[in-house]
Amino acid sequence: MTSPPDRPSPDTTAPGRAAAGSPPDAAGIGRRNVLKAFGAGAFAVGAGGLLEACSTGIKGSSGSGGTKAITIGWIHPLTGSLAGFGAADDWVTTKIKQTAQYKNGFKIGGKTYPVTIKSYDTQSSPTRAGDLARTAILSDGVDLLFASSTPETVNAVSSQAESLGTPLICSNIPWESWYINLGGNPQKPTLKPKFVVMYFLGAEHLVQAFIPMWNRIHAQLHTNKVVAAAFPNDSDGNAFRAVFPPIAKGAGYTFDMSSPYPDGTTNYSSMISAFKSDSADFFTNVPLPPDFATMWKQAVQQGFKPKLATVAKVLLFPTDAYALGSLVENVATDAWWAPTLPWTSSFTGETCQQMANEYEAAGHGQWNSNISNYSLFEAAHAAFMLVNNPHDKTEVADAIHKVNIPALAGPLNFASGGPAPGVAITPPVGIQWQKGTTYSLEAKVVDNTLQPHAKLTGDLLPTNA
């Protein structure tokens, strides 16, 4: 990972990038067990359109009544090992600039406030993510923060926001990791973070998405129901190690787990040999994307051929799949957002499919699940519509906890209190990378157990028959 600079600052240019049937109580099992495991560029919109900004001030950042612009900071990985998670973010920002809500400014208490949005690239460094949060809060005077994409990004920002008293909306992090990082207990989720809310899924939702796919391959190929699991020694790996096995056991599967390995491992031979010796018919993991590339290449070379591979945190985005080419054909994963979901933009009424089509037509390649980051802006707008003073951070923090809206990412209800205060769940569908027609590999929606309204676009195939 890239080391943070001595004095992090917002990026001034946008980086260039290449074109998720289990028992009803499974979530409870996961929450009980997860406790054992967890140890900028900127622009202003409003008051008539796009207003360029720089680090020292914003030209035209006040409305006709002299109102100070609302400043929103987005901390996300645009470069480095997690860059795939940020691949759609610039496009999302462009879409948001075009909405009436952001283009014309927020109308609050009889005044119109222009909106400034600052983008901060973490370079995939957790340390830098935390440093950037401090910069955004203490130097740049943000009124609200966003943090998206993996515990490596979101947890550090959440800690700073909560301790420095700045409202924050998060996405793309398993809720257990986020909640425990803030001092909460998933088994007894009574802690209510004061300044932070999030939407996404939990580790339990991923295994609940994978089990139906395992069941279908088992029915087809009569497997031994042994699942090889490679979980690293990090926040996600520790959560999966605690949550996955008991839920899978309830569905009749046995886990063959590797020892916790450090991120950045380059030799997986002994692990792969153990999986082969146990004749595991299924494979699952939750590594950093570069680590999976290394691991999977070695698995293929050493003849480890699980009948179905269901991976998490990797192969979520097209560029990661393309990089491995035919090696990832018929490998399955999760998707928390897909074009066939029935959700629509609360700003424009555009459907998921329309958003995906526009993304592809703009030359960004195949649709990307993080188009759902659009909903960070939907939640922010809804919160600001509930306040009298958008620069009062306590008032804005109270407001984000009251948000309950239909959004492009799905229904977002931070007020419901479940599975923990400040958490809204957006369940995943199962997707599989298959040979395509428009693209060399295409993400096909092959399971909708947790999102029955999503349309299937392909049949689940064995990774290795």
- Taking only the tens place, the pLDDT of each residue in 315-359 is 999 988 999 999 999 999 999 999 999 999 999 999 999 999 999
Domain boundaries, the chain: 26-201+339-425, 204-335+429-447
What lies within 8 Å, CB to CB, of 415 at 6+ separation is 401, 402, 403, 404
172 Rama sector, left if φ>0, alpha if ψ -120 to 50, beta otherwise: left
Is 5's pLDDT higher than 80?
Answer: no
pLDDT, position 65: 53
Please choose, from the candidates 138, 124, 140, 134, the residue with its C-alpha nearest in 3D space to the C-alpha of residue 41: 140
pTM, rounded to two decimals: 0.85
Cα 308 to Cα 306: distance, rounded to the nearest angstrom:
5
121 Rama sector, left if φ>0, alpha if ψ -120 to 50, beta otherwise: beta
Query: Are 186 and 35 contacting, i.e. CB atoms less than 8 angstroms apart?
Result: yes
Digit-coded pLDDT (tens) for 366-415: 999 999 999 999 999 999 999 999 999 999 999 999 999 999 999 999 99
CA-only gyration radius of the chain, Å:
22
Beta bridge partners of 76: 121
Digit-coded pLDDT (tens) for 71-124: 999 999 999 989 999 999 999 999 999 999 999 999 999 999 999 999 999 999
Digit-coded pLDDT (tens) for 283-312: 999 998 899 999 999 999 999 999 999 999
pLDDT, position 187: 86
Cα 454 to Cα 337: distance, rounded to the nearest angstrom:
10
pLDDT, position 28: 42
Spell out the CATH class of 204-335+429-447.
Answer: alpha beta
Cα 379 to Cα 396: distance, rounded to the nearest angstrom:
12
pLDDT category at 418 given cuts 50, 70, 90 is confident
Q: Average per-residue pLDDT in the chain?
A: 88
CA 354-359-360 angle, to 5 degrees, is 100
CATH superfamily of 26-201+339-425: Response regulator (3.40.50.2300)
pLDDT category at 66 given cuts 50, 70, 90 is low
Same topology, domains 26-201+339-425 and 204-335+429-447? Answer is yes
Compute CA distances 264 → 148, 259, 292, 386, whole Å. Answer: 22, 15, 10, 45
Token duo for residue 361: 């037509």
% of the chain residues with pLDDT over 70: 86
Digit-coded pLDDT (tens) for 241-282: 989 999 999 999 999 999 999 999 999 999 999 999 999 999
pLDDT, position 6: 37
**Do β-strands 412-413 and 404-405 pair in parallel, antiparallel, or remain unpaired?**
antiparallel
Q: Cis before residue 114, ω within 30 degrees of 0?
A: no
Is 165's pLDDT higher than 60?
Answer: yes
